[in-house]
């Protein structure tokens, strides 16, 4: 069983190592919380999210995955290889887009992909940063209004933001688990590889948690260091917007990229503050959208064809 799941589990580990930074990076980099505590909270959040609300995404990915364990496993492996290659090339990457790309690549040999759920998924990819940006615009107003109304000192304001970042981090981890577990084990949904959907959820969540616990520290410092330059309020808005957006898509049942969601949140803050929308950031999202699925599709197509 582990052999078939290998590609997916590696992808899960990679999601945990990279994407936990999007929810707890700011808090860790600014020492709101210790890395070890953040990693444990994030792991618990991911497992809770996957177990309680991860099934919808599993069904969606399962619906577009070609029949047969070999094809499912090859799709996951193609996604994992694409993520690794993109990371090595230091290019922006989305695990979701990699898995879907892998599925498309393998599907060339197995009769094609059902276009309706695929179109829904691609539409949600576009909606992720846009949605997170809109949520950030709303949260900026709501949080700002609440803080303005409170007769508090500047340090009490910091304290509220301090706790807010922890709560948003836990919620973000929950949303990450609920949404991204599908990337890990979604291709195996309905293939009879494990006894139940709950087990698929748990195995996927455990892989993500392992990535968080073993390799997310440095990424958290790097991503968090970049995010914290926004200031604590902006970081709270961006992380909350990312969490809400990713959670909404988890409920809808479409796996999306937390990195693209957090970028959308940052853009929302930038709009509220009259800042420039960095062309480089937007270009990176575009590159992630285009290169990742294409690369994964090519790997899936070539790999499954050779196999």
Partner 1 sequence: MIFGSRQHAVEGLIASYVEHAQASVSCFVEGMEVWLGGAEPVADIVHGVAAAESRADDARRELCLLLYGKALFPESRGDILGLVEAVDKVPNRAEAIMRRIVSQHIGPPAPDLGEGFRALVASVEACTTAMFEGVNVLFKDHHAAVELSNRVDHLESEADRAEMELTERIFTSALEGFPKILYRDLVMDVGGLADRAEDASDRIRIIAIKRET
Which CB, 88 or 150, lies closer to partner 1? 150
Q: Find the shortest distance in angstroms from Cβ 140 to partner 1.
A: 8
What's the Cα-to-Cα distance from 15 to each of 23, 127, 207, rounded to whole Å? 12, 20, 9
Q: Which stretch binds partner 1 (CB under 8 A): 91-99, 158-166, 180-188, 296-304?
A: 158-166
C-alpha to C-alpha distance for 128 and 246, rounded to whole angstroms: 8
The number of C-alpha atoms within 13 Å of 66 and in the hemisphere containing its C-beta is 25
Closer residue to partner 1, CB minimum distance, 140 or 249: 140
Q: Which of 2, 88, 154, 306 binds partner 1 (CB under 8 A)?
A: 154
Work out which of 2, 88, 155, 195 binds partner 1, going by CB under 8 A.
155
Interface residue with partner 1 among 228, 243, 262, 295 (CB under 8 A) is 228
Contact pattern from residue 265 through residue 284 relative to partner 1, giving x for each residue in contact according to CB under 8 A and a dash for the rest = -------xx-----------
Between 2-29 and 258-272, two packed helices, what is the crossing angle to 10 degrees? 20
Q: Looking at 120, 231, 294, 303, which residue binds partner 1 (CB under 8 A)?
A: 231
For residue 12, the tally of other CB atoms under 10 A from its CB is 30
**In the complex, minimum distance from the CB of residue 238 to partner 1, in angstroms, rounded to a whole number:** 13
Q: What is the DSSP string of 124-139?
A: HHHHHHHHHHHHHHHH
Give the shortest CB-28-to-partner 1 separation in angstroms. Answer: 13
d(CA 182, CA 256): 10
The reply on whether position 192 binds partner 1 by CB under 8 A is no
Nearer to partner 1, 93 or 266 (CB): 266
The DSSP 8-state label assigned to residue 274 in this structure reads T
- Closest distance of CB 213 from partner 1, Å: 23
Q: Which of 283, 282, 289, 291 is nearest to 264 (CA)?
A: 282
Q: Identify the residue among 134, 147, 210, 294 touching partner 1 (CB under 8 A).
A: 147
Q: Which sign, positive or negative, has the C-alpha torsion 149, 152, 154, 159? A: negative
Among residues 221 and 284, whose Cβ is nearest to partner 1? 221
> In whole angstroms, how close is the CB of 233 to partner 1 at the nearest point?
6
Q: How many CA atoms lie within 13 A of 52 on its CB side?
A: 12
CB of 41 to partner 1, least distance (A): 15
In which residue are the tokens 């926004």 written?
Answer: 230
Number of residues in contact with partner 1, rule: CB under 8 A? 25
Q: Distance between CA atoms of 219 and 146, rounded to whole angstroms?
A: 32
The contact set with partner 1 (CB under 8 A) reads 30-32, 140, 144, 147-148, 151-159, 161-163, 228, 231-233, 272-273
């Amino acid at each position: 069983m582990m052999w078939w799941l290998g590609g997916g589990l590696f992808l899960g580990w990679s999601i945990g190592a990279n994407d936990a930074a999007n929810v707890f990076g700011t808090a860790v980099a600014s020492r709101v919380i210790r890395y070890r505590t953040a990693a444990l909270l994030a792991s618990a959040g991911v497992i809770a999210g996957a177990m309680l609300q991860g099934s919808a995404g599993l069904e969606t990915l399962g619906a577009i995955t070609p029949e047969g364990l070999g094809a499912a496993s090859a799709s996951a492996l193609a996604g994992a290889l694409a993520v690794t290659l993109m990371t090595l090339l230091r290019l922006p990457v989305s695990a979701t887009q990699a898995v879907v790309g892998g599925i498309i690549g393998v599907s060339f040999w197995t009769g094609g992909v059902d276009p309706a759920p695929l179109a829904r998924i691609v539409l949600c990819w576009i909606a992720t940063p846009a949605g997170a940006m809109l949520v950030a615009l709303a949260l900026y107003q709501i949080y700002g209004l609440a803080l303005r109304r409170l007769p508090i000192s500047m340090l009490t304001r910091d304290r509220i933001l301090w706790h807010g970042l922890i709560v948003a981090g836990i919620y973000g981890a929950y949303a990450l688990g609920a949404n991204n577990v599908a990337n890990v084990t979604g291709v195996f949904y309905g293939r009879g590889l494990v006894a139940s959907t709950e087990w698929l959820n748990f195995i996927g969540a455990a892989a993500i948690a392992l990535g968080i616990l073993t390799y997310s520290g440095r990424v958290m410092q790097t991503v968090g260091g970049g995010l914290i330059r926004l200031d604590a309020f902006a970081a709270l808005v961006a992380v909350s917007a990312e969490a809400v957006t990713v959670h909404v898509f988890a409920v809808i049942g479409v796996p999306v990229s937390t990195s693209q969601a957090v970028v959308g949140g940052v853009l929302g803050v930038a709009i509220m503050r009259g800042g420039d929308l960095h062309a480089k950031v937007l270009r990176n999202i575009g590159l992630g959208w285009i290169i990742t699925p294409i690369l994964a599709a090519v790997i899936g197509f070539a790999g499954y064809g050779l196999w």
